[in-house]
């Protein structure tokens, strides 16, 4: 139900929102999509995006911003229950993909959010099966399985 006219060609997150690019999606509605980060800091690290292409979250219209943050809140509670971290952290940076996205990150340690491996891009990538398993658990917790 996304407005394809608002999508940017060559934007991977627009492609995910429209369904043109596959991912381990855990949630989608008319204005928001959530999916597993392919390069997570910890298992269950996921991304929440507006379906519309807007580079920075503070440029979103208020209704879309609220819709995104409602999904972030719901996802954070599920991540807390599944990953049992000390805290669930949120990061908004956007150096990698110029389409607003909120990282929802289970933090077992204070330094998880400033992980040197993450910044240097040297994290161990989970395989596709692990991402699929984690996505299925989140969908199950949402009652979407």
| Cα 81 to Cα 83: distance, rounded to the nearest angstrom | 6
Q: Name the minimum Å distance from CB 101 to Zn ion.
A: 9
14 binds Zn ion (CB under 5 A): yes
Q: Name the minimum Å distance from CB 8 to Zn ion.
A: 5
Q: Total binding residues for Zn ion by CB under 5 A?
A: 6
Draw the binding track, 94-123, toward Zn ion (x: CB under 5 A; -: no contact): -----x------------------------
11 binds Zn ion (CB under 5 A): yes
| Cα 44 to Cα 37: distance, rounded to the nearest angstrom | 8
| Cα 71 to Cα 85: distance, rounded to the nearest angstrom | 19
- On whether the CB atoms of residues 25 and 33 are closer than 8 A, the answer is yes
- On whether the CB atoms of residues 60 and 54 are closer than 8 A, the answer is yes
- Judged by CB under 5 A, the stretch of 9-17, 59-67, 80-88, 131-139 that binds Zn ion is 9-17
Q: Using the 8-state DSSP alphabet, how is residue 101 labeled?
A: -
53 binds Zn ion (CB under 5 A): yes
Q: Catalytic amino acids?
A: 101
């Amino acid at each position: 139900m996304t407005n394809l006219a608002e999508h940017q060609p060559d934007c991977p997150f627009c492609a995910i929102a429209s369904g043109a690019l596959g991912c381990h999606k855990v949630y989608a509605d008319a204005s928001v999509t959530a999916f597993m980060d392919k390069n997570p800091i910890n298992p269950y690290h996921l991304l929440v995006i507006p379906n519309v292409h807007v580079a920075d979250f503070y440029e979103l219209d208020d209704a879309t911003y609220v819709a995104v943050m409602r999904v972030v809140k719901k996802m954070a509670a599920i991540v807390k229950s599944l990953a049992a971290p000390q805290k669930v952290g949120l990061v908004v940076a956007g150096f990698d993909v110029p389409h607003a996205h909120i990282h929802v990150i289970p933090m077992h340690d204070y330094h998880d959010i400033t992980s040197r491996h993450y910044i240097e891009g040297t994290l161990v990538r989970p395989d596709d099966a692990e991402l699929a398993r984690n996505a299925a658990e989140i969908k199950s917790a949402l009652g979407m399985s």
